[in-house]
Structure 1
């Protein structure tokens, strides 16, 4: 039997809301770390919800808004930088923001203006420059590679680094320096953007902490091939001499995909990673803990075994499960992360070995109520089978909204669900929200779309599809602090014992 954490975020029962930053309302495009984020913290605090879950905050590829396909596993997404906060610093003016709002100025161009203004003001405020340089030194293990990779990709015109000139592909210092020397302003701007993101995010975290709200982040187990991580640390991945993967990630055929799924991330060279005690993983999780109070490890089962697909295989059906050094990696991660700070995403085909690994290290798993009502008495997502060492959801960012899901169920499936739910008289989606909150799971998380009672039009992501994802935004004024929705949530939180006592 797993031991429950006695310290950390999951030492008490809590309630939370899943809402990615880009889903916050904004007149300037996707949401960011600006006034709407602070207002959402106020809403959570007034509702008694002490956890805000977000998706990865990493920089996405241009034209591909998925936060699970990143240019860097360590950097922050500059698109999340608040232009309004930059204006409040005097780095932009109202005309700049109006131009972004009407589409005559891009957010990237506005950030460049802010970076230029910040640098011009440095002579009058040398302490500010010192703070920036100190931050850059503390993060140089990933910052240098990120800046080089993004700047080179922009100069070359492609993030597909295997197509670059061999000297750049192989990160030869002279070749890299010579090309970067042609774009010094962009190099400085890229460095400054990361600093600006960290400053804004840290201020938001502190604001949330003061109001009793913890931030729950997400760590994808694999990294994108076309990323600063793989380009700069090729020896840590299963690649050939030219950088081509020898084997890629995915999953075998199942009920949903006859040929399996091919994700195309490179696999880790685990033996080489183990040589320094999994230093790369230690640095990665330490970075996540800088950003978050609690971290979800996406595709946790990959730490026990992963599906290896030969790079030339026609489909994901050609592959094999190969063991991963889960105990060694997790021992390293917990040393730097701390007790009660990691959650395992253990959805899908999970073997007893995966469960044993998760329980050995005391990591909560996930329970998704939308998966519970198939008529199988052994279904692990049924409310009576949750257990305390778990995080319960009505649905996740990969599910339909609860109302959308409910509308697609046949009459027999609906009857099975209503027979299980404690409050079947409450209309969907709130009857499922009630069930999540009354669960024995230490943490209950509800997607914001379910709180708003939205249908499939508000779905965040449909796995296996390439368009129409990651773009949903909440309407302005959807989450007022002290409003009727907050009051309804506060009552539910109090009635289910999910309001942890504040401690100094």
Structure 2
């Protein structure tokens, strides 16, 4: 058996003037560096959208991508952002990620890109192919914004219990916000695929990771509660964790 080696580095750690690493130039430079060092693997943390605590192991969806990793520079190359748009982006720490600031600033920047975005067959195909999770995820994120970030199990009953009339009304009144969420996912996966293809073409394989469990506050649990061990009020019947050990005297509660 041939022995191979690789390196672990999450994309958030790439150098960036936007306060968080992304899938742009520095990610491609990283692949080139792995090739120069004769490495075979690149390992990353889960790439899903992070929830409470900004941990990649606590994701709002099992299928969606973390849109904070979208590269503004690549959006500029597409003509969706201008040099002026990027110049107006505030200077954020390049030592550690201030997620609160990054979320606010990148969301404002991505809205500018969305305003210039025109539907393409590629976008329409993505929305159709991924609708089995994308439609519910878009609804989940729009409703979460309307509830000031509260977890779905603390929403008002009509939204929490997915009354059909409420969801139908949202599809009409919030169509632009829903489309924005789909645009972000389309853009993330477009950029990620380009990076992955580049890595694979250079004989670099990517080792991914997934959380042990789907997060309670996720579009998965909200949209398909019947797939999870929840009571009639939507509360979990069991939670995951580990008892006290030498790592933690009080144990760990994962949710």
TM-score by length of 1: 0.47
Q: Give the deviation of 1:19 after TM superposition.
A: 0.4
Residues 17, 49 of structure 1: 8 Å contact kept: yes
State the Cα distance separating 1:13 from its structure 2 match.
2.2
> Which consecutive unaligned segments of at least 5 residues does structure 1 have?
1-10, 123-128, 265-504
Q: Distance in 2 between matches of 1:111 and 1:24?
A: 20
Residue 73 (structure 1) aligns with: 62
Task: Tell me how far 1:140 sits from its aligned partner.
Answer: 1.2
SS at match of 1:52: strand
Mapped partners of 1:48, 1:15: distance in 2: 8
Measure, in 1, the Cα distance between the counterparts of 2:129 and 2:232. 31
Find the residue that maps to 2:208 and give its secondary structure.
Answer: strand
Q: Are 2:234 and 1:214 equivalent residues in the alignment?
A: no
Aligned match for 1:25, one of 15, 23, 46: 15
Shift of 1:115: 1.4
Could you tell me which residue of structure 1 aligns to residue 97 of structure 2? Answer: none
Specify the SS of the correspondent of 1:17. Answer: strand
Establish whether residue 170 from structure 1 lines up as the match of residue 169 from structure 2: no
2:89 to 67, 84, 100: 100
Contact map agreement 2:23 2:70 (CA 8 A) in 1: yes
Shift of 1:46: 0.8
Counterpart position of 2:193: 202
Counterpart pick for 1:51 among 34, 41, 45? 41
Which structure has more helix as a fraction of its residues?
Answer: 2
Shift of 1:90: 0.6
Cα distance in structure 1, aligned partners of 2:148 and 2:220: 19
The offset of 1:135, in angstroms, is 1.4
* Matching residue of 2:175: 184
Question: What is the TM-score normalised by the length of structure 2?
Answer: 0.91
Residue 115 of structure 2 is matched in structure 1 by 116
**3-state SS of 2:173 partner:** coil
Unaligned runs of 5+ in 2: 93-100
Q: Deviations over 1:183-206 (max 9, x none)?
A: 322111100110111111111111
Q: Which protein shows a greater Rg?
A: 1
TM superposition shift of 1:89:
0.6
Q: Which residue of 1 aligns with 2:127?
A: 136
RMSD value over aligned CA atoms?
A: 1.8
| Structure with the higher fraction of residues in strand conformation | 1
Query: Residue 17 of structure 2 contacts residue 91 of structure 2 at CA under 8 Å; is this kept in 1?
Result: no
Whether the aligned pair in 2 keeps the contact of 1:152 and 1:180 (CA below 8 Å) is no
1:12-411 map, 5 Å: 12-61=2-51, 64-102=53-91, 106-119=105-118, 122=119, 129-264=120-255
Measured after TM superposition, the shift of residue 16 of structure 1 is 0.5
Task: Tell me if the contact between 1:150 and 1:159 (Cα under 8 Å) persists in the aligned partners.
Answer: no
Higher relative contact order (CA 8 A, sep 6+): 2
How far does residue 160 in structure 1 lie from its aligned partner after superposition?
1.3
**Conserved in 1, the CA contact under 8 Å of 2:43 and 2:207?**
yes
Maintained 8 Å contact 2:58/2:211: no
SS of residue paired to 2:254: strand
Shift of 1:12: 4.0
Shift of 1:243: 0.3
After TM superposition, give the deviation of residue 218 of structure 1 in Å: 0.5
- Residue 219 of structure 1 deviates from its aligned partner by 1.0
